Structures are given as structure tokens and as C-alpha cells.
Chains A and B, each alone.
Chain A
Amino acid sequence: MPPLTIDARGVTVRFGKFTAVNNASLTVAPGEVFGLLGPNGSGKTTLIRGLCGLVPLAGGTATVLGHDVNTESERVRAQIGYMSQKFSLYEDLTTRENMDFYAGIYGLTAKQAMDREDELIALTGMGPYMDQYAGRLSGGWKQRLALLCALLHRPRLIFLDEPTAGIDPVARRDLWNLLFRLSAEGISLVVTTHYMDEAERCARVGYIYMANLLAVGTPRELKEMPGVTPPGTRWLEIYDLNTAGLLEKLRKIPAIQQATIFGQSIHALVEKDRSLAELGLENVKVVDAEPSLEDVFVTISRAQAAKI
């Protein structure tokens, strides 16, 4: 088995007295797409910064691409790509100028830069936009350019901090297709996102809540976590035309522990031994269901909040 791309054990980051990341352990294998989820301010970005060696670790160890992030952060940074949550290229520079700048920063020779740029232009379809000012590009193209700049130095690991926030669905799908192509080339990707469908696409997912990495695993593993479906309960998917009205009613029934609308249906966590009549679900279509990732995150967040 090839060595892990990221091997983080008990990573802790503190800013003064405030603990931004508490005892987080995770691994990322070569070519793996790892999704990092969690509410805003929960510590996602800080965890990434810690893994890049940008903020010192107050506890734990992290090895990224074989280098300790605390002692060899420069080596780490030379081999990773990073795409931040807001567009952080130079808007008054053209696409090409932005690329040339990053090629220079990463120490590519002129020849290397030219070859690599051609390669990436072919991959991303950036060709027609090379001489446009980056500030004039649409959201999707801006993201592609940012990704392209992050790929110039052939990193073996890329961190993407909410790469799809605020771009249209088509651009979003294109970007994900691009990410999977990179993954197929053996590049590891760590992606933060708020979108559940994106989380489902990841090979493995980590969920961070109030500085604690509460769960790490494949989406399937997370859904099968014992805490998500406590003993004596089961998940139901309930279909009704008037979902909002039904939800009102269901929330008043004590045997229904959770209920949330998903489009045309309601996801509910109910006590196992109750009949449909007892649950007030006689006249609607009900099927057994597995929890969605959102159900998982909501349930473990509540459990964690209750602990504190």
C-alpha cells in the first residue's frame, strides 16, 4: 500500500485560549477525494491551514506527503495546491499573467511553465480566456482559473476550500468532473463544502463541529454509525402532498424523534415498535429509509451539543 498523503493524529490548533481544532485525526490516501463538512466557523479552514503548516499545531502530529507540517512546512507548501473559498487571484491581471505569476512563484522554468500551461489549458478549456482580465471572468471560469493556478506545479495534494460556493450548477458539475479526473491521476483532494450531494460524491467524509472532528468515514460508514440510528429507532421516508402540514402534526407526536422535509418527502426518526397508527401515519405512503448524510450530521451535531 502506498504511503498516506495525509496522516494527521490528534491535531490541535489554538489561538490564544480559543481552541479552533481539537484533537482531530484523519488520513487521506493517494488519489482519494476527501470531503470536509461542518458549519461555518467550526474549524474547517483552520484544520486545512494546520495541515499546510500555516498555523502551528498546539498538539498532535501531521505528516503531509511524507513531511512533518510543523518542521517542514515549506516542503509541504511546495508540493500542495490550495484554492481558497473566495476568488483570490489578481483581477487586474489577465488569465495568462496570473498563471505566469504562479508558475514563477512555484519555481517552474519557462519551458516547464509553457508545457504545463498548455496541458492545463487543454484540461480546463481555458484557451479562449487567456488574455481576459481575471476580474471579468464568470464565477465558474474564475474557479477553473484558480484551480489551474493551483495545479501548475503538479501538486500531489490539493486543498479546495468551498470551491463551488456561489457558482451555477453546470459549472459545479464541470468542476467536479475535473476533480475526479485529477483524482484518477493519483492526486489527492481535500474539499470543504456545504452541499450534501457533493459530500456524497466524496470517497470519504469528515464532519467537524465546534472544533471537534466528530466523524470520519465513507458516506456509507457514516450513515451506519450507531449514534445516527439509536437502538430501538428506525428511519422512515414519508410521502404526502401536503408535507408542510404533515410535518406540523408529526412534530407533536412524542414517538417521532426527528422529522425534516426533503423535497416531496419527510425524513423521520421514529421509535421502532410503534405501529403506523400510533405514529399518525396511516393514510400516507411510508417506506423504510436509510438516513441521509444530512440526517447524520444533524444527529451527531445535536448529540455533541447536548454533551457540552
Chain B
Amino acid sequence: MNNGFSFQRTYAVARKEFLHIIRDPATLFFAIFIPVIELFMLGYAINTNVRFISTVVLNQCQTEESKRMIRMFENSQDFRVVKYVFSEEEMNWMIRSGKAKVGIKIPEDFSRQIEAKRSAQILILVDGSESSVAGEALHVSNALALQESLKQFLNDNTQFAVDARPRILFNPDTRSANFFIPGLMVVMCQMMAIMLSANAIVREKEKGTLEQLFMTPVKAGELILGKLIPYLVLTIIEFTTILFLMWSVFQVPIHGYVMTLMMLTLPFTFSFLGMGLYISTQVNTREAAGQMAMGTMMPSIFLSGYVFPLDSMPVFFWYVAQVFPTTWLIDAARGVILRGAGFSELWLHSVILWTMGIVSFFLAAMKFRKRLS
């Protein structure tokens, strides 16, 4: 090697790659608009907080007490009575047909049992096909029953022995947007980085331009770096766009420093650019590259804590999840945005993400260099 790394050659590659991006509106559209559309979809449509579960009521008692009981269910705002029915068949049908998720049956002897200081039963039927709805319904109806029972026991003056006063930190309204959008931002960055870079070398293979490049003095490192710089820029732009929309449209407050987040996003992006590049060296068509990129992305989306909380995963998968850079950046993003975390809290994330980024990038570069000769 007569001369080392050349910035000029790297720049030439980067400029060319940038031109490819702006000449290919489909990719640009895919890269910029799809994430924004998804942001709006997730921001507006999805709400994991279960509210107003459609409920059918069969009140066989029809006393003042039973009606108060039903009002209590409604006042909790977790239940919304969609219909009062007069037979069990009707109630069952409502649930089976999906018109109601919960059925409340108050038996004829409800008030009599209470007066007799015996345990009064109400039957709560819960449609278990949506686990989060079922869980919430179960949880709230138990709480209501308990509260009602305690009232029977205690005088109004008596104090509860234990009074739990939960206070939800950082996201007091438990808004879904606050939970989802930081994760979405990370997932979108991942998708873009891996998709773009998986295509980067394959496209040149398909067109035969790679062979031509091999005949020039350009080195593997220069080619790779030159190709990745525009994608890195694009990914950062996307990240910033989502961040801005999150803050301005969805009013998710950013409690930490954006710079902190950027410093963690940079190595994260590198790790996926590296992965995409690795894919690029393995396959020969863009279709295959797309498939492989998808295959790599899916597990890291599902296991990263983006949708399903990490803490409720089986131990094995919890460990698997730690392998994905996505897991670390999602956690860090929520930390910075919602909890105002800084480097003192996120130093481990930082170390891990930088390590992953550098290792993945160099593995890809080495693999590529090997294929080159």
C-alpha cells in the first residue's frame, strides 16, 4: 500500500451516494414519509390504557343497591354499559358476538344477602381474547368488590390499615404516546439504517458497477465509509424529525438533553449500518437483502421492549434481548426523554452501544474486504 486512507476518495463516494439517494424518490419516500405516517398512526390511534370497556349488564335484582353497584362500575371509567339485558342467553350472546367484552350479572338475591350480612355475589364474565382488556376488567372489578365489602365492615370514620397511594412518575397521565414514540423513533432509525445499507453494496453488485470500482484504487474502508455517511446523515435527520414531531404535535415533554440522545443514537445507527452492510456482502439481489434485513429487524423489534415490557419476558428472552442494540437505545431514549436521564445514569448504555457500533462496523468492513480480494 503506497498511500493510506484517502478523504478525497471517501468524499467522492459519499457525494455519489448522496446523488443516488436524491435520484431515487421511492427510497427517499420510504425513508422519510413512512416513519412519519407511522408516527401519526401510533401517536393517535394506539392507546394501551384500557378505558371504557364495553359492558353488558344483567340486573336481576333491580334494587337501589344493585343500581348503585352498576353506577360504581361505570364511574370507574373502565366500563361503559352498552346494553341492559334480561336473560343470561342474551348476555352470553353479546359477549360471544364481541358486542361486549364484559358481562355483569347481579343475581336476584343480591340486596337480600347484603342485608343479611352474607356474602352477596355478582358474576363478572370477561372475554379473555384480549389479554390486556381482560386483565384490566378483572383487576378493577376485584378492587370495586373489595372496596364495597370494606364499606360494609367499617364505619365511615375508621381508617384503612394500609392505604396505598400510587404516584406515577415521569408520565403522570400514563399517556401511550409518551411510551411509544421514543421507542418508535429508535425502531424507525434501525429500520432505515439497515434497509439503506443492505442495499448499498448489493445495488452496485446488481448493476455491475462494483466490478468497475474494484479496478480503481478505492479501498474497502473508503468505499464503506463513503457509502455510510449519507445514510448516517439521513438517519439522523429522520431521528430529529420524529423527535421534533413528538415534542410539538404529540406534546411529549423532553426532560433530558437532546445531545445526550444523539450521542447514543450515533453508535446505534452505526451498528445497524454495519449489519446492513454485512447483509450486503452476503447476498446478490436487492430482494434477498430486503428479506434478510427484515429477518434481522423483527426479533429486535419484538424483544427490545418497544411493544412488550422487558420485565415480563421469560428469563431466557430477557437475556436474548440484551444482545440487541435496540433494547439499549429504547431504554436510553425513554430515560432521556421521559426521566431526564443524563450520562451519569446512562453510562452503561453508552459503553455498550459504542462497543456494539464499533464492533459491528468493523466486522462488516473486514467481511467486505475479504470478499473484495
Q: Please determine whether B2 and A101 come into contact, CB atoms closer than 8 angstroms.
A: no
Q: In the complex the two chains form, is A107's CB within 8 Å of B8's CB?
A: yes
A195 to B40, CA, bound (A): 61
Q: Tell me if A65 is interfacial: C-beta within 8 Å of chain B.
A: no
Knowing A75-B2, A97-B16 are in contact, say whether A52-B215 is a contact too (CB < 8 A).
Answer: yes
List, in ascending order, chain B residues with CB within 8 A of A56's CB. 373
Say yes or no for B257: interface residue by CB 8 A criterion.
no
A54 beta carbon closer than 8 Å to chain B = yes
Q: Report whether A92 and B216 are in contact in the complex, using a CB–CB cutoff of 8 Å.
A: no
A91 near B: Cβ within 8 Å?
yes
Considering only residues 8-64 of chain B, those with a C-beta below 8 Å from chain A are: 8-9, 11-13, 15-16, 19-20, 23-24
Q: Which residues of A contact B23 (CB under 8 A)?
A: 92-93
The smallest C-beta distance from B368 to any residue of chain A, in angstroms, reads 15
Residues in B189-234 with C-beta less than 8 Å from chain A: 207-209, 211-218
Nearest-CB distance from A203 to chain B (Å)?
23
What 1/0 flags go to A41-78 for Cβ under 8 Å of B? Answer: 00000000000101010000000000000001011011
B251 at the A interface (CB under 8 A): no
- B174 at interface by CB-CB < 8 Å: no
B207 touches A91 (CB 8 A): yes
Does B142 make an interface contact (CB < 8 A)?
Answer: no
B215 touches A86 (CB 8 A): no
Do A89 and B11 contact each other (CB < 8 Å), given the known contacts A54-B215, A77-B217?
Answer: no
A90 interface residue, CB < 8 Å from B? yes
- On whether the beta carbons of A101 and B6 are closer than 8 Å, the reply is no
Determine how close the nearest CB of chain B comes to the CB of A14; give it in whole angstroms.
Answer: 15
Return chain A residues, CB-CB under 8 Å to B168. Answer: none
Q: Is B1 an interface residue (CB 8 A)?
A: yes
Known A-B contacts A86-B208, A93-B16; the reply to A78 vs B8 at CB < 8 A is: no
Instruction: Report B-chain residues with C-beta under 8 Å of the C-beta of A78.
Output: 2, 217
Q: Given the complex, which residues of A lie within 8 Å of B215, measured CB to CB?
A: 52, 54, 77, 80, 82, 84, 159
Chain A residue numbers with a CB within 8 Å of B207 are 88, 90-91
Q: Across the interface, do A104 and B209 meet the contact criterion of CB distance under 8 Å?
A: no
**Which residues in B have their C-beta under 8 angstroms from that of A101?**
12-13, 15-16
Selected from A75, A90, A102, A107, the residue in CB contact (under 8 A) with B6 is A107
- B208: nearest chain-A partner, CB-CB: A88
Minimum CB–CB distance for A248 against chain B, Å? 44
- Looking at A74, A87, A88, the one whose CB has the most chain B CB atoms below 10 A away is A88
* Number of A-B pairs, beta carbon distance below 8 Å: 76
Q: How far is the CB of B209 from chain A (nearest CB, A)?
A: 5
Cβ-defined contact, A105 with B208, below 8 A: no
Total count of chain A residues near the partner, CB < 8 A: 29
Instruction: Report whether B209 and A92 are in contact in the complex, using a CB–CB cutoff of 8 Å.
Output: no
Say whether, besides A90-B16, A92-B19, A93-B19, A106 and B216 are in contact (CB < 8 Å). Answer: yes
Shortest Cβ distance from A179 into chain B, in angstroms?
18
A104 and B208: CB pair below 8 A? no
Report Cα–Cα, A206/B9, bound state, in Å. 36
Give the CA-CA distance A171 to B109 in the complex, in Å.
Answer: 101
Looking at the assembled complex, report how far the CB atom of B99 sits from the nearest CB atom of chain A, in whole angstroms: 55
Please give the distance in Å from A97's CB to the nearest CB on chain B: 6
User: In the bound complex, what is the Cα–Cα distance between A90 and B373 (angstroms)?
Assistant: 23
Check if B209 sits within 8 Å of A90, measured CB to CB.
Answer: yes
- Contact call B217/A107, Cβ cutoff below 8 A: yes
The closest CB in chain B to the CB of A104 belongs to B12
A72 to B12, CA, bound (A): 24
Residue of B nearest to A107 (CB): B8
Known contacts A54-B214, A86-B208, A90-B20: does B12 contact A105 (CB below 8 Å)? yes
Asked if B20 and A92 make an inter-chain contact with CB atoms under 8 angstroms apart, the answer reads yes
Contact indicator B16/A88 (Cβ below 8 Å): no
Determine the distance from Cα of A15 to Cα of B8 in the docked complex, in whole angstroms. 34
Shortest A136–chain B CB gap in Å is: 13
Question: Which residue of the partner chain A has the closest CB to B215?
Answer: A82
Q: Tell me which residues from 195 to 247 in chain A have a Cβ below 8 Å from any Cβ of chain B.
A: none
CB within 8 Å of A: which B251-286 residues? none
Given the complex, which residues of B lie within 8 Å of A74, measured CB to CB? 1-2, 217
Residue of A52, A54, A88 near B209 (CB, 8 A) is A88
Taken residue by residue from 29 to 48, chain A's Cβ proximity to chain B (1 for < 8 Å, 0 otherwise) reads as 00000000000000000000
B212/A84 in contact, CB under 8 A: yes
Known: A56-B373, A77-B217, A104-B9. A88 touches B19 (CB 8 A): no
Distance, CA A102 to CA B8, complexed state (A): 11
Residues of A within 8 A of B16 (CB): 90, 93, 97, 101
Chain A residues in the interface with B (C-beta under 8 A)? 52, 54, 56, 72, 74-75, 77-78, 80, 82, 84, 86-93, 97, 100-107, 159
Ordered by A's residue number, 24 sampled pairs between the chains whose C-beta atoms are within 8 Å are A52-B215, A54-B373, A56-B373, A74-B2, A80-B215, A82-B212, A84-B208, A88-B208, A88-B211, A92-B23, A92-B24, A93-B16, A97-B16, A97-B19, A100-B12, A101-B15, A104-B9, A104-B13, A104-B15, A106-B216, A107-B6, A107-B8, A107-B9, A107-B217
